[in-house]
A and B are shown apart, each in its own frame.
Chain A
């Protein structure tokens, strides 16, 4: 079974600006691909094109043999694409548990059941609690999402994606703005996900130590174009990355 995610010639233009320019890339199960590049390189836009928040001007997104290019974000989510957002994107005034329960509900396909009280679906609540436990948020389950610390909000963001049990996990800077002691929780989570060889994991990340410890492969975006693709050590060492991403002139070693 080969359920690969593929973008072919994926392009989007905003007026005259080409934010993502003919990016062709295939992602395979059991592989964690880190997407790196300087600010404004088009990493998040590339994610938005894959998960459906933006529609491509040109090119296609293929998953599991089906063409997702014309599908809406909810359709792509149901097809198995999960996304954790860079700017925390939660239901601010609902409780932490309710945030996750809604994601579980979405995944279980309970959309239009309006005749029973929600508490009757114990299974959804229990599943949500189990996920909260795995991201170490159980103690905060009854507070409003907006009352969480930034790091906890990031963890909740990841919990929402996990509740969807996707085949593709898309992390957009999962550790951004986290305090040092919070980062390991998220990294452990990602490492655990990696052990499941049927999952495709995409990770946009600025911290090179995180990338180095987790990634099986790195692709580099620069000005919307794919400029490098390969094993972490090769890509990091390549001159184009040293120059384009790390801003270091070739010949000098990266820290």
Chain B
């Protein structure tokens, strides 16, 4: 199947899992129309694309970047500032993209050419420094970015929640501008993920894997690895910025905490590791598992805690108290890394392999 660029899930369980995630995301506005469910679904879409673009770097080239949230933020801020300054029009969205995406690409090009010639640790340090500087800049340049408060803005009319296309009659759900925005996010993210899948399975992507395996040898074969790594860095930056733009459209707000914080960088890292590095599919699975756990673990634990208290069990109600959710998320993470060192996707593929050969 060329839409998957010849890189199939290669595991029946994984195929089913991906299908469930995609179908669930596609029907969310009708089946789970609540605000929380919609926010969670949107976040899964956006982060799946964001994490996939990070996987292009970490999983396929083996370079560690800490600047991914910066590119996410650039796309997000560009659209936010354009809509804030120009007003709610499609022209403003286009202007934001026309400024944000090339800016992200240029910055990635600069960082790449400057630091990808040498050892990977240097690149990691440079991205950390640049990302920190950008975070400070975004919170200090209040006249432009709104400082710590960020920027709230109004969307073009078509995307506003108040715009009703079809009033409450399709499965009891109204189709509004919000629904349209959701599908723009869903389709946009899906296109980015499929695009990345194509890139990693292209002749170019194969060279990236060769560089990850043995950069010295790739050079000896005649590949100018600096350029390959820099292109990959630019591509990842543009996808991250696009995901940022989608994020801004959904939230109708952009601030340091929703785009630039290192907590988000950490989340991205966790998602790519949990899902499985160097697979792209891992980004989808990782984002879905992580964001669902982040949002529903608390309520699940609340229910379990109450149940344990009712049953009169000692210690358990305290351990399962919703305030301890971070502890359990941490344990889940350690367990997943311990039991699935190659991530969920890697593990599922390993399980599927003997059957395929037998």
Contacts and interface: CB of A to CB of B under 8 A. Distances in A.
Interface in B1-47: 2, 5-7
B222 A164 contact: yes
Nearest to B5: A117
Interface string A100-134: 01110111001111111111010010000000000
Contacts of A98: 206
Contacts of A51: 220
B202 A116 contact: yes
B220 A113 contact: no
Nearest to A157: B217
A43 B5 CA distance: 45
Interface string B134-146: 0000000000000
Contact of A77 (B6, B203, B222): B222
Interface of A: 51, 53, 72-74, 77-78, 83, 85, 89-94, 98, 101-103, 105-107, 110-119, 121, 124, 160, 164
Contacts of B219: 72-74
A83 B206 CA distance: 21
A104 B201 CA distance: 17
A91 B202 contact: no
Contact of A121 (B203, B207, B224): B203
B209 interface: yes
B220 A83 contact: yes
B220 A73 contact: yes
Contact of A113 (B2, B204, B221): B204
B223 A94 contact: no
Nearest to B232: A114
B214 interface: yes
B347 interface: no
Given A114-B205, A116-B202, A117-B202, A160 B214 contact: no
A89 B228 contact: no
B198 interface: yes
Contact of B222 (A53, A107, A116): A107
Contacts of B202: 113-118
Given A89-B216, A94-B210, A112-B204, A117 B221 contact: no
Given A115-B198, A119-B6, A102 B216 contact: no
14 contacts: A74-B219, A92-B214, A93-B213, A94-B213, A110-B203, A112-B231, A113-B203, A114-B202, A114-B204, A115-B202, A116-B203, A117-B2, A117-B7, A121-B203
Contacts of B218: 91, 102
B341 to A, nearest CB: 14
A112 B213 CA distance: 18
Contacts of A107: 222
Nearest to B214: A91
A240 B234 CA distance: 58
Nearest to A76: B222
Contacts of B221: 74, 77, 102-103, 106, 160, 164
Contacts of A53: 216, 220
B251 interface: no
Contacts of A83: 220
Nearest to A121: B203
Given A78-B222, A116-B203, A119-B6, 18 more contacts: A72-B224, A73-B219, A74-B220, A77-B220, A77-B221, A85-B217, A89-B217, A91-B213, A101-B206, A102-B221, A105-B203, A107-B222, A111-B224, A112-B204, A118-B202, A118-B203, A121-B203, A124-B203
A117 B198 contact: yes
A89 B210 CA distance: 12
Contacts of A117: 2, 5-7, 198, 201-202
Interface in B176-220: 198-199, 201-207, 209-210, 213-214, 216-220
A94 B209 contact: yes
Nearest to B200: A114
Contacts of B216: 53, 89
B278 to A, nearest CB: 10
A89 B6 CA distance: 28
A102 B213 CA distance: 12
A114 B199 contact: yes
